[in-house]
Amino acid sequence: MEVKIFDLKFNAKFYYIQKDFIVDKIKFNNRTLYSKFKKIEESPTPLLIAQHLNRELTVALPLIEDNQIRYIVLEYEQESSDKFYHIIKYILKSLSINKFYRYKSSKKNHIQIFIDTKDITIDRVYDLTENIQNMLDFKSYKGYKIFPNRNLPKSYNKILLPIKKM
């Protein structure tokens, strides 16, 4: 079922609900990862999306489904000058990426940038993600996350739905 929120579209067959306790523990690449997200094996409903937008609960959707990645997502804490956003715009423009969306996350003071990758292969998306990350590291920026991440298990490549378009 297709889920639409603002300008974003997801083909979600399942979703995740954030809990106040650890729900999942996975051993991956000699690390132990913990998650507070419970997987729900059904498509998200418009009521669920409305509850998320009203901050009654927190919903996340998978970024990787059926070996397709629809979006690359950058999450960062908003600075007062928002210098990070201008650097991101410059980096994306240098990579000939013109289609991206900016949203407020359900996390306090966090911004999400969704980069549309609908017509790109999964390997190319990972390469692009690493390229963006390398450019940001070169600029010495910290405090951001970029997804999908090939160094995380597939089930950890999920993203919180945004709550407001910017």
Instruction: Label residue 83 by pLDDT band (50, 70, 90).
Output: confident
Look at residue 94 and tell me whether its pLDDT is greater than 60: yes
Give the per-residue pLDDT at 14. Answer: 93
Q: Report the Cα–Cα distance between both ends of the chain, in Å, rounded.
A: 26
Q: What is the pLDDT of residues 5-43, one digit of tens each?
A: 998 988 889 999 999 999 888 888 888 889 899 999 999
Look at residue 142 and tell me whether its pLDDT is greater than 80: no
Q: What tokens does 122 get?
A: 């999964």
Q: Which of 17, 133, 24, 12 is nearest to 74 (CA)?
A: 133
Provide the residue range defining the domain that includes 112: 2-165
For residues 107 and 75, what is the distance between their CA atoms, to the nearest angstrom?
10
Give the per-residue pLDDT at 80. Answer: 54
Look at residue 56 and tell me whether its pLDDT is greater than 60: yes
Domain harbouring 144, CATH code: 3.90.920.20
Considering its fold, how many domains does the chain have in total?
A: 1
Give the per-residue pLDDT at 81. Answer: 54
Instruction: Label residue 161 by pLDDT band (50, 70, 90).
Output: very high
User: What's the residue count for the chain?
Assistant: 166
In percent, the amount of the chain with pLDDT more than 90 equals 40
